[in-house]
Amino acid sequence: MFICNCHGLNEQKVIEAARAGVEKWEDIHSYFGTKPSCGMCSEEIRQIISEQKNV
Ligand code: FES
């Protein structure tokens, strides 16, 4: 399931970037060489980042 439909980022990719230390939802996109566009994925990405901080 895609978290970011605009750039095809799935949950696994977002978790991978969060575990690598990415802390902002915009930077998750940069990590994969894209730029955020519509922003609809921001809440879900922020949630995954905060979950990964607590692991
Ligand atoms: S769904 Fe991620 S930028 Fe549009």
pLDDT at 55 over 90: no
- For the chain, the domain total comes to 1
Q: Is the CB of 20 under 6 A from ligand 1?
A: no
pLDDT at 32: 98
- Sequence-ordered alpha helix ranges (H) in 1-55: 11-19, 25-31, 42-53
How many angstroms is it from 21 CA to the middle of ligand 1?
20
Q: Is the CB of 5 under 6 A from ligand 1?
A: yes
Q: Is the CB of 37 under 6 A from ligand 1?
A: yes
In tens, the pLDDT along 1-38 reads: 899 999 999 999 999 999 999 999 999 999 999 999 99
What CATH number does residue 29 fall under?
1.10.10
Q: Is the CB of 38 under 6 A from ligand 1?
A: yes
d(CA 21, CA 5): 22
d(CA 40, CA 4): 8
Q: What is the pTM of this model?
A: 0.93
**What residues make up the domain containing 19?**
2-53
The secondary structure element, H or E, covering residue 4 is: strand 2-4
